[in-house]
Amino acid sequence: MSIIKDTLREVLIFLHLDLTKNLKYDRLTKKILKKYLKKEYNCIDIGCHKGEILELMMHFSSEGKHYAFEPIPYLCKELKNKYKDKANIFQCALADVNGETTFQLVKNAPAYSGIKRRKYDIDNPQIEEIVVEEKRLDDVIPADKKIHFIKIDVEGGEFGVLKGAENILKTNKPVVLFECGKGASEYYGTKPADLYNFIKGIGLNIYTLQAFVSNKKPLTCEEFEKCFDTNAEYYFVAAALNA
């Protein structure tokens, strides 16, 4: 059943049939990766899950160095077995501190799993609380390694990930694809204006995915706050003007 669903999803994306917002985001994500990534670029996949985005990173940046982070033990094991000679896989959550943290594994919908327990868009979520290692990205990636692209999908904890990667962001000015919005991010205490100002302070602008691929203007703080509060958009790109 999973194979059939994945195949149908790929067909809908190929045909540009955006039946859901997530299908639209999947299509635009592939377009962004194809447009921006060069064969020598180094990429980071945070919240790697089953490796769908990591696969695209390795395809479009075939000569680059790639890093992936996945705290769920069985998913990380599968990633290490599959990509052991192709990418550096880390079993940990990323944040702005180092140590250990409890982690909410949603057993019947693992893609919803995260550090904080929140409201889930499924009936009867089966949650197992586990303990995982927590690290700052700045303390994992070698300081002399140029990073060109980062994807962050951590079910609300993205601001902590960004703060823990401040040196990488300031030094490299990578393109960052990230999920953020009400329903997840506020459980981590995230205020959209704070996240917006942090990213602007790094020297990056925030775009919707469609605006980025269409070379349109970045969001203002007020526009980003509205997206956050209404979930009109919940995937964004942070990038320099000349990305």
Residue in this structure with the two tokens 């100002």, named with its chain if needed = 197
Q: How confident is the model at residue 69 (pLDDT cuts 50, 70, 90)?
A: very high
What does the alpha-carbon distance between residue 205 and residue 91 come to, in Å, rounded to a whole number? 30
pLDDT at 85: 87
Percent of the chain surpassing pLDDT 70: 91
Task: Name every residue whose Cβ is closer than 8 Å to that of residue 106 and which is 6 or more positions away in sequence.
Answer: 112, 113, 120, 122, 125, 126, 127
Q: How confident is the model at residue 36 (pLDDT cuts 50, 70, 90)?
A: very high
The alpha-carbon radius of gyration of the chain (Å, integer) is: 17
Note the pLDDT tens digit of each residue in 85-111.
899 999 999 999 999 999 999 999 999
pTM across the whole model: 0.91
Pick the range with the lowest mean pLDDT from 6-10, 33-37, 75-79, 154-158.
Answer: 6-10
Please say if the pLDDT value at position 30 is more than 70.
yes
Residue in this structure with the two tokens 């694809």, named with its chain if needed = 177
Domains of the chain: 2-92+144-239 (3.40.50.150)
Q: What average pLDDT does range 24-48 have in this prediction?
A: 96
